[in-house]
Amino acid sequence: MEEKQTFIGHLEELRKRLIISLIAVGIGFCISYIFSKEIFQFLTIPLVKALPPGANMIYTRLPEAFFTYLKVAFLAGIFVASPVILYQTWLFVAPALYSHEKKYAIPFVIFSTLLFLGGAAFGYFVVFRYGFQFFMGFATDFIKPAPTLKEYLSFCSILLLTFGLTFELPLFILFLAKLGVVDAGMLSRNRRYVIVGIFVIAAIFTPPDVVTQVMMAAPLLILFEVSIMLAKIFGRKPAK
């Protein structure tokens, strides 16, 4: 009976954290919608720079522009609410930590937010630039690019969120090391499998060209090496 109550208690706790996170996203959405046009224009800067002269973005369905701005506001709302979402994540997993480890809530929220935003910034300022140049390289005098609002926003959303989440790798591994699930030795021994996994993830979530895939895999490999050092320094020590 106690196990059932504990399981229900975890579900209730998860439900509470999800509701708070959704409320935060909703507030971020309302604020972002006011500036949705400006945000979308900012997102299109890398594409506009890569487009050939005279090319423009289009929309092929009447409500497409309206729904695009809604989706832009929702995407921006996630980034605005990211500190709240990450803090709620911490509150959900904190019971698994020792009491002296729970004091790291604020540093966790700060660094996880910076990593999430930093990953998205890396995707926007670096990967978008070279990725769009690669795609525009297929344009000819006969084949003219005419990207639609919907397709471009979907492409941006996937890449920005993917880079933001993957840059959380050091904190994720550090948390597992704190729980004693992994340690620096285990990570080092399995480095070859992790490298293969990183390149598989990069191939799935990036445009189909080697340059962009390497640009995603390279920082992940660096973050993995950083994770090994963090696990070695801050990981849970074996009980004496």
Which pairs from 205-209 meet CB under 8 Å and 24+ separation? 205/158, 205/159, 205/162, 206/127, 206/131, 206/159, 207/131, 207/134, 207/135, 209/131, 209/134
Q: What is the pTM of this model?
A: 0.83
Long-range (24+ apart) CB contacts under 8 A made by 30-35 are 30/73, 30/77, 31/77, 31/80, 32/72, 32/73, 32/74, 32/76, 32/77, 32/80, 33/69, 33/70, 33/73, 35/76
Band (95; pLDDT cuts 50, 70, 90): confident
Q: How confident is the model at residue 237 (pLDDT cuts 50, 70, 90)?
A: low
The whole-number pLDDT of residue 4 equals: 47
Give the Cβ contact number of residue 232 at 10 Å. Answer: 14
Q: How confident is the model at residue 33 (pLDDT cuts 50, 70, 90)?
A: very high
- Band (210; pLDDT cuts 50, 70, 90): confident
Average pLDDT, the chain: 85
Q: What pLDDT is recorded for position 34? A: 95
74 versus 200: the higher-pLDDT residue is 74
Residue 185 clears pLDDT 50, i.e. is over it:
yes
pLDDT at residue 98, rounded to an integer: 67
pLDDT at res. 186:
87
Coil vs helix vs strand at 4: helix
Ramachandran sector of residue 140 (left: φ over 0; alpha: ψ -120 to 50; beta: rest): beta
Question: pLDDT at position 240, please?
Answer: 52
The answer to whether the beta carbons of residues 80 and 28 sit under 8 Å apart is: yes
The residue ranking higher by pLDDT, 213 or 79, is 79
**What span, in angstroms and rounded, lies between the C-alpha atoms of 207 and 213?**
7
> Sorting pLDDT into bands at 50, 70 and 90, what band is 1?
very low
Report the pLDDT averaged over residues 59-73: 91
Cβ–Cβ under 8 Å, residues 64 and 150: yes
* Residue bearing tokens 């949705």: 36
Using CA of residue 103, residue 27, residue 47, residue 165, what is the dihedral sign? positive
